[in-house]
């Protein structure tokens, strides 16, 4: 399957009452994903490392939005969020960091570790924590927000879409961590089976805090459409793939 159909008219069924958690949802793409899930009738937990920011975001989003303190790099915070959220149908692992545009010569090892702590180990930790709740769901969905710059296919070949210098604002730490997220997504999908739908999203370059100080990039809401499409996949939908924000399948 190389193309995902447009968003369904409703979430599985009007009485589904699905519950979603979006990490890093107080701003940027995560905030836009939360808004669109709320618009489609889900209850959405706004995961935020800073609870005050999460509560302000939840207030702005309105009915159905709830804030939960969640630092994906802190096991105690993850465990506390699991207890507070309870039942869950949709997990969107959106929280991420971008240390900068350094190549192998300029990459600081501590920054590299920090990128992996959030972008990779955080995804695994949160997924593991919420796995029991997701297993109880009739329609468990996991969406890992990755990056097209993490695609080894797009980064290689005679005419790479992304060489080491492109796009602006990303470097070895960020891009290699997203390659790892892609691998985690595939292996998670394979291990959980077809009841789960586990997919990664390449959202495209967006105007977010991840690329602070840059004026380039598209509307985060456009990328959020792709994430919501994956979050609301029907039971016969695809799993274990990387998808571009526009609904087309991207190469690993």
Six token digits for residue 80: 């506390």
Q: Which of 195, 242, 245 is nearest to 1 (CA)?
A: 242
Cα(203)–Cα(188) distance, integer angstroms: 20
Alpha carbon distances (Å) from 147 to 79, 174, 220: 27, 9, 14
How many whole angstroms separate alpha carbon 77 and alpha carbon 79? 5
Query: Does the annotation mark 53 as catalytic?
Result: no
178 catalytically annotated:
yes
216 burial level (CB within 10 Å; 0-12, 13-18, 19+): exposed
**Cα angle, residue 56 at apex, residues 53 and 57 outer, rounded to 5°:** 85
165: CB partners within 8 A, 6+ apart? none
- Positive/negative CA dihedral, 222, 147, 190, 95: negative
- Residue 192: count other Cβ atoms within 10 Å of its Cβ: 19
Q: d(Cα 92, Cα 37) in Å, to the nearest integer? A: 11
- Retrieve residue 242's tokens: 């990387």
Question: Which residue of the set 53, 116, 168, 178 is catalytic?
Answer: 178
Helices (H), the chain: 28-39, 51-61, 75-85, 109-116, 122-136, 152-155, 172-192, 220-231
Active-site residue list: 174, 178
């Amino acid at each position: 399957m190389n193309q995902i159909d447009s968003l369904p008219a409703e979430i599985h069924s009007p009485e589904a009452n699905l519950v979603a958690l979006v990490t890093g949802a107080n701003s940027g793409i995560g905030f836009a994903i939360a808004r669109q899930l709320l618009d489609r009738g889900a209850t959405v937990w706004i995961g935020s490392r800073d609870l005050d920011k999460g509560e302000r975001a939840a207030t702005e989003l309105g009915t159905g939005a709830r804030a939960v303190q969640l630092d994906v790099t802190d096991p105690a915070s993850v465990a506390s969020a699991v207890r507070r959220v309870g039942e869950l149908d949709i997990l969107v692992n959106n929280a991420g960091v971008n240390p900068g545009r350094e190549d192998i010569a300029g990459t600081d090892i501590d920054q590299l570790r920090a990128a992996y702590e959030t972008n990779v180990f955080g995804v695994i930790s949160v997924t593991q924590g919420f796995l029991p709740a997701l297993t109880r769901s009739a329609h468990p969905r996991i969406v890992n927000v990755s990056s097209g710059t993490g695609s080894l296919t797009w980064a290689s070949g005679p005419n790479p879409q992304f060489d080491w210098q492109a796009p602006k604002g990303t470097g070895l730490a960020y891009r290699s961590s997203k390659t790892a997220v892609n691998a985690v997504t595939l292996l998670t999908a394979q291990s959980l089976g077809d009841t789960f739908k586990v997919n990664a999203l390449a959202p495209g370059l967006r105007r977010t805090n991840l690329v602070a100080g840059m004026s380039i990039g598209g509307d985060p809401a456009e990328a959020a459409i792709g994430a919501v499409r994956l979050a609301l996949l029907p039971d016969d939908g695809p799993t274990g793939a990387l998808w571009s924000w526009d609904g087309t399948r991207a190469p690993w």
